[in-house]
């Protein structure tokens, strides 16, 4: 499907994204991880009108998905096009809408969780924010998913490598938590899950207890 010398136009930690035409892109995991399960979740939430790229085709580590145009929410926030409080509120809204969707298995009390919903996995299109990168999607508890996002905001807020972004992320985290359900029942499971994430550096892992402390400090206000 791709010429052997094709160059990706975008890359994340796990995937490369290649242009097919003006409407579609090919997203490929560099390590060959199969995409079938995440594509199933993307198709499931799309049925509930959740903002997600349409999935046209799935094959091993490749999926052909709708091309989105616009900056990531992270880039929009860094550029000052979205305020920190708006960033937090947008994430709370994206989670509220996602967690209203029942689990595909029909298990009661379970919802669809994204597991990695943060500003680099949201593209701000002309029609509004659209959520990408569904690798960690599963059936689970809304509180776990909210805790995962809070941990990711706290990670950047506390990482010395991103010191200049700390005020923005602290305001976004406060706005996010003020607008979300209380993540406390899912916080320990989310911390354990982050601790087992193989893409995190040792320095990022060492900050987990401080991230939990920052989140708890906003929850008790």
Ligand X SMILES: Nc1ncnc2c1ncn2[C@@H]1O[C@H](COP(=O)(O)OP(=O)(O)O)[C@@H](O)[C@H]1O
- DSSP structure class, residue 52: -
Does residue number 129 form part of the binding site for ligand X (CB under 6 A)?
A: no
Size of the site for Mg ion (CB under 5 A): 3
Calculated CA dihedral for residues 128, 200, 205, 168, nearest 10 degrees? -30
End-to-end, the C-alpha distance of the chain in Å comes to 54
Q: Which residues contact 166 (CB under 8 A, 6 or more apart)?
A: 156, 157, 158
As a whole number of angstroms, the distance between CA 84 and CA 176 comes to 9
Q: How many beta carbons lie within 10 A of that of residue 81, not counting itself?
A: 12
Single out the residue of 1, 2, 7, 15 in contact with ligand X (rule: CB under 6 A).
15
Which residues between 104 and 133 bind Mg ion (CB under 5 A)?
121, 133
Q: CB nearer to ligand X: give 9 or 48.
A: 9
Which residues between 37 and 76 bind ligand X (CB under 6 A)?
53, 65-68, 72
Contact range with ligand X by CB under 6 A, out of 6-14, 155-163, 171-179, 183-191: 6-14
Binding site for Mg ion (CB under 5 A): 12, 121, 133
Binding site for ligand X (CB under 6 A): 10, 12-15, 17, 25, 27, 53, 65-68, 72, 120-121, 132-133, 135
């Amino acid at each position: 499907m791709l010429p052997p010398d094709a160059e990706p136009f975008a890359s994340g930690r796990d995937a490369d994204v290649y242009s097919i035409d003006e409407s579609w892109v090919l997203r490929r995991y560099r390590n060959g991880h199969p995409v079938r399960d995440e594509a199933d979740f993307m198709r499931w939430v799309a049925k509930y009108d959740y903002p997600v790229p349409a999935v046209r085709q799935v094959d091993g580590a490749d999926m052909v998905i709708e091309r989105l145009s616009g900056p990531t929410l992270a880039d929009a926030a860094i550029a000052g096009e979205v305020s920190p409080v708006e960033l937090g509120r947008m994430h709370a809204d994206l989670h509220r809408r996602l967690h209203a969707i029942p689990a595909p298995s029909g298990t009661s009390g379970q919802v669809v969780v994204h597991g990695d919903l943060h500003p680099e996995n949201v593209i701000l299109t002309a029609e509004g924010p659209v959520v990408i990168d569904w690798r960690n999607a599963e059936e689970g508890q809304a509180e776990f998913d909210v805790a995962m996002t809070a941990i990711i905001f706290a990670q950047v807020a506390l990482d010395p490598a991103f010191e200049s972004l700390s005020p923005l992320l602290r305001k976004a985290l406060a706005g996010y938590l003020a607008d979300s359900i209380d993540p406390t029942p899912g916080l320990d499971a989310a911390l354990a899950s982050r601790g087992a994430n193989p893409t995190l550096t040792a320095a990022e892992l060492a900050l987990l207890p401080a991230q939990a402390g920052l989140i708890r400090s906003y929850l008790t206000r």
